[in-house]
């Protein structure tokens, strides 16, 4: 089912750019890719490398910071 929507000229230009950027044929495909990309949450797995927990927490607080 197709639906017609109204967009301003600058939005249409952005949609055309998105269509080129994603290499798709329709505005619908461009909007879908943009929406899916925006909702995708990146995994933080491995962000801290191979350090162990004690090494990471070692410099978190100094003695003078404690009450």
| Amino acid 66: pLDDT | 62
| Amino acid 43: pLDDT | 74
The predicted-structure confidence for 16-38, as pLDDT tens digits, reads as follows: 999 999 899 999 999 998 888 77
Q: Is the pLDDT of residue 39 over 80?
A: no
Question: Which residues fall within 8 angstroms of residue 31, CB to CB, at 6 or more apart?
Answer: 15, 18
Mean pLDDT of all residues in the chain? 82
For the record, the structure tokens of 38 come out as 């925006």
Q: How far apart are CA 7 and CA 15, in angstroms?
A: 10
| Amino acid 67: pLDDT | 60
Q: How far apart are CA 45 and CA 40, in angstroms?
A: 15
Which pTM value belongs to this model?
0.53
């Amino acid at each position: 089912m197709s639906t017609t929507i109204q967009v301003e000229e600058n939005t249409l230009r952005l949609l055309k750019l998105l269509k080129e950027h994603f290499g798709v044929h329709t505005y619908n495909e461009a909007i879908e890719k943009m929406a899916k990309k925006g909702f995708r949450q990146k995994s933080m797995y491995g962000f801290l490398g191979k350090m162990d927990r004690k090494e990471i927490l070692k410099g978190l607080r100094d003695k003078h910071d404690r009450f």
